[in-house]
A and B are shown apart, each in its own frame.
Chain A
Amino acid sequence: MTDNNATLITIITEAALETTLIKDIEELGAPGYSISNARGKGNRGLRDAAWEANSNIRIEVICSDIVASKISEHLEQKYYQNYAMVCFSAEVNVLRPKKFN
């Protein structure tokens, strides 16, 4: 297991977006996703998850590089302007790569 065989795309954004975002991601061909709560600080100020309107989520998707770039383009167009959102991707090694392509 030496070659990178899949892409991990990570999105950190407002919890309010969860439902719509998951729908988008699935439509763009993501084979699955994981969501966890997140808190931190960025250019939109401290997001300390003290209550709902101020909480963040982190969505992680393992997929092919094609789907990953589709997702990141879509997010940039639809959400970047108005929402607190960070999105980054990395080449990763996974066992059972077929599962994610």
Chain B
Amino acid sequence: MSTIDPVIWFFLFGLLAGVLKSELRLPSQIYDFVSMLLLITIGLKGGVELANQPFATLIPQILVVMAAGFLLPLLVFPVLLYLGKLNRADAASIAAHYGSVSVGTFAVAVAFMSSQNIEYEQHMALFVVILEVPAILVGIVLAKGLSKNTQWANVGHEVMLGKGVMFLMGGLFIGWLSGPSGVESISPLFFDLFKGVLALFLLEMGLITASQLSSLKRYGFFLLSFGIITPICFSVIGALVGLGLSLSVGGVAILATLFASASYIAVPAAMRISVPEANPTLSLTASLGITFPFNILIGIPIYYWLASTLHASLI
């Protein structure tokens, strides 16, 4: 029997079906529903945990993670600009994608931890929300400078009230207000079905990833190596930050995964509106065609190994 989690097989199945140009696809409403369930579940889990501890104790962690969210895009921007020889708008847009996070990758990391019975801090879901936004703002400033033409109100609306952040925040608050015993009545839908929902989500992600692979040939070697080296470097930063915040091994591994992941929903939408001259195919090929599959297939086990090694040697 294979030790690979069945949800990963669903991703590979989707990928294969996409590469073979099969007719297979999830109806788009079902895909919307499945991603909504994932976002709410992740929010609820985090919220329930928040109910268990005083919020004030988390504030230092929140501030550190938020600072990292602003810093990460700044680290890759010069690489993209000078080494990748991309134009300013494209470099800024890709930097924003990599500074932000992918909820799908987070969900796979959570599934990995629970299938291996690894404990982690449930309030990591809060960090997903926190890491989602800053990179977008940095990306826009990198592309345009602090130009007066940027409609910050529109950007803010797009980012904060976008589907992803809203569902996560909604889940967080409902979980927080209801507490562990309160959410019991809705747990069959959200918690018990989590793995099945994730499997369907990853099936569709496999199909979408396959559709990005054709543009990979066009952009070639730099993008491919960038899409693999960046998550590895960022995971090391994430792991060190996690250790600094004295998280558990599982928590460190998840934070490393979050740092390593690249956005493919919130950031592309925001960049399309705010930095229209950036080529969306370029950034999506990197984040969705390379980094997402790399993270869920190879990255997460590596980040867990990294977290346990660092944890054992430094603490």
Interface of A with B (CB < 8 Å)? 14, 16-17, 19-20, 48-55, 79, 81-83
Given A50-B25, A51-B31, 8 more A-B residue pairs with CB atoms under 8 Å apart are A16-B269, A16-B273, A20-B273, A50-B208, A50-B211, A51-B28, A53-B268, A54-B211
Q: How many angstroms between the C-alpha atoms of A49 and B25 in the bound complex?
A: 11
CA distance A54 to B215 in the complex (A): 14
Q: Judging by beta carbons under 8 Å apart, are A83 and B276 in contact?
A: yes
Can you sample 8 A-B contacts with CB below 8 Å? A20-B273, A48-B211, A51-B28, A52-B265, A53-B269, A53-B284, A54-B211, A83-B276
B264 / chain A contacts, CB cutoff of 8 Å = 53
In the complex, the answer to whether B207 meets A50 with C-beta atoms within 8 Å is: yes
- Secondary structure at the B interface, as helix, strand, loop or mixed, is helix
Nearest-neighbour CB distance to chain A for B162, whole angstroms, equals: 10
Distance in Å: Cβ of A38 to nearest Cβ of chain B: 13
Cβ of B277 under 8 Å from chain A: yes
| Residue pair B31, A16 in contact (C-beta under 8 Å) | no
Assess whether B280 is interfacial by the CB under 8 Å rule.
yes
Assess the B28–A49 pair: CB atoms within 8 A: yes
Residues in B with CB closer than 8 Å to A53 are 264-265, 268-269, 272, 280, 284
Q: Which residues of B contact A49 (CB under 8 A)?
A: 28
Contact call A82/B28, Cβ cutoff below 8 A: no
Chain A residues lying within 8 Å of B269, measured Cβ to Cβ, are: 16, 52-53
| Chain A residues within an 8 Å CB radius of B154 | 19-20
- Establish whether residues A82 and B284, one from each chain, have CB atoms under 8 Å apart when the complex forms: no
Contact pattern, B 195-219, Cβ under 8 Å of A = 1, otherwise 0: 0000000001001100100000000
Contacts of B272 in A (CB 8 A): 14, 16-17, 53
Q: Which of chain A's residues have a CB closer than 8 A to the CB of B25?
A: 50
A79 CA to B272 CA, complexed, in Å: 11
Closest partner residue, chain B, to A44 (CB atom): B281
Minimum CB–CB distance from A46 to chain B (whole Å) comes to 9
Query: Cα distance A14–B276 when bound, in Å?
Result: 11
Pair A51/B273 contact, Cβ less than 8 Å: no
Q: Considering only CB atoms, which chain B residue lies closest to A16 in the complex?
A: B272
Chain B residue nearest to A23 (CB atoms) is: B154
Q: Which has the most chain B C-beta neighbours within 10 Å: A19, A51, A82? A: A51
Chain A minimum-CB-distance residue to B18: A50
Q: Please, how many angstroms separate the alpha-carbon atoms of A50 and B208 in the complex?
A: 7
The interface residues of chain B lying within 8 Å CB-to-CB of A81 are 277
Residues of chain B with a CB closer than 8 A to A20's CB = 154, 273
Q: Which residue of A lies closest to B215 (CB)?
A: A45
* Minimal beta-carbon separation of A75 from chain B (angstroms): 13
Q: Which parts of B251-275 form the interface with A (CB within 8 Å)?
A: 264-265, 268-269, 272-273
CB atoms of A82 and B31 under 8 A apart: no
Q: When chains A and B are docked, how far (Å) is the Cα of A81 from the Cα of B265?
A: 23
Q: Which residues of B contact A51 (CB under 8 A)?
A: 28, 31, 204, 208
Q: How far does the alpha carbon of A30 sit from the alpha carbon of B314 in the complex, in Å?
A: 65
Residues of B within 8 A of A52 (CB): 265, 269
Roughly how many angstroms separate A83 CA and B276 CA in the complex, as a whole number?
A: 7
- Which residues of A lie under 8 Å from residue B28 when comparing CB positions? 49-51, 55
Chain A residues within an 8 Å CB radius of B265? 52-53
In the bound complex, how far is the Cα of B272 from the Cα of A54, in angstroms? 11
Query: For residue A54, which residues in chain B have a CB less than 8 angstroms away from its CB?
Result: 211
* Distance A79 CA – B25 CA, assembled complex (angstroms): 31
Kindly identify, within residues 154 to 168 of chain B, every residue whose CB is under 8 Å from any CB belonging to chain A: 154, 158
Contact A17 B273, CB 8 Å, known A50-B207, A53-B280: yes
Q: Mark B6-33, 1 if CB is under 8 A from A, else 0.
A: 0000000000000000000100100100
On chain B, the residues within 8 Å of A48 by CB distance are 211
A95 vs chain B, min Cβ distance (A)? 34
Q: Which residue of B lies closest to A83 (CB)?
A: B276
User: Bound state CA distance, A83 and B277, in angstroms?
Assistant: 8
